[in-house]
Amino acid sequence: MKGVKMLNIQKEQQYSKIVEKYSDMIFRIAYQYLFNNYDAEDIVQEVFVKLLTKKVIFKDEEHVKSWLIRVTINHCLDYKKTLAKRSVVPIENMEIPFEQKEEGILEELQLLKEDERNILYLYYYEGYKIKEIAKILKQKQNTINSKLTRARKKLKEIMEVKNE
């Protein structure tokens, strides 16, 4: 590609910077899918192993981030397929890896569908625009916009019921 600077994640220093910058984000995404610290940590490791072994060439920093998010989601989906065979720990018994201010809404978020939670997370926490979320999740922009609107409405209703 002429005129476009490509990033090649082969040097240890580059890899270390990416791990340092994105490991928390990957952990949070994995935790939203799996609701288990240990499983989320496993996913983080798997994603970074894939980054190290795949020799992917990236266009820019944003491409790195979206690739990591997509791979994280795919690993979580694969993991959940096998998760049904294992026992599940209730959320009350788990350590929550979020800040105090974020903990208040976690219970309500769990009442939403998985795709709604993920869209809310990418939009509000990671700051992605609807167009970018659509690209990451491989869905149409209108679909993402509709799901975001529904998720906001559902979350608002849940919060209103809780505060009554």
Residue 40 has pLDDT above 60, yes or no: yes
Question: Which phi and psi angles does 115 have, rounded to 5°?
Answer: -65, -35
What does the pLDDT look like over 66-123, one tens digit per residue? Answer: 999 999 999 998 888 876 555 554 544 444 454 555 555 667 777 888 888 888 888 8
Dist. CA 127–CA 118, nearest whole Å:
12
| Stretch 135-151: mean pLDDT | 91
User: What gap in Å lies between CA 164 and CA 161, rounded to an integer?
Assistant: 5
pLDDT at 35: 84
CB-count exposure of residue 108 (10 Å: 0-12, 13-18, 19+): middle
Quote the pLDDT of residue 31: 93
| Best CA proximity match to 75, nearest among 111, 22, 34, 106 | 34
Which residue ranges form the domains of the chain, and what is each CATH number?
1-97 (1.10.1740.10), 98-164 (1.10.10.10)
Amino acid 10: pLDDT: 56
Q: Answer yes or no: are the C-beta atoms of 135 and 66 closer than 8 Å.
A: yes
Pick the closest to residue 151 from 110, 90, 91, 99 (CA basis).
Answer: 110
Kindly state the percentage of the chain with pLDDT values over 70.
78
Residue 12's CB is within 10 A of a number of other CB atoms, namely 9
**Residue 9: is its pLDDT beyond 60?**
no
**Among residues 90, 95, 51, 92, which one has the least CA distance to residue 70?**
51
pLDDT band at 15 (very low <50, low <70, confident <90, very high): confident
- Joined tokens for residue 51: 């980054």
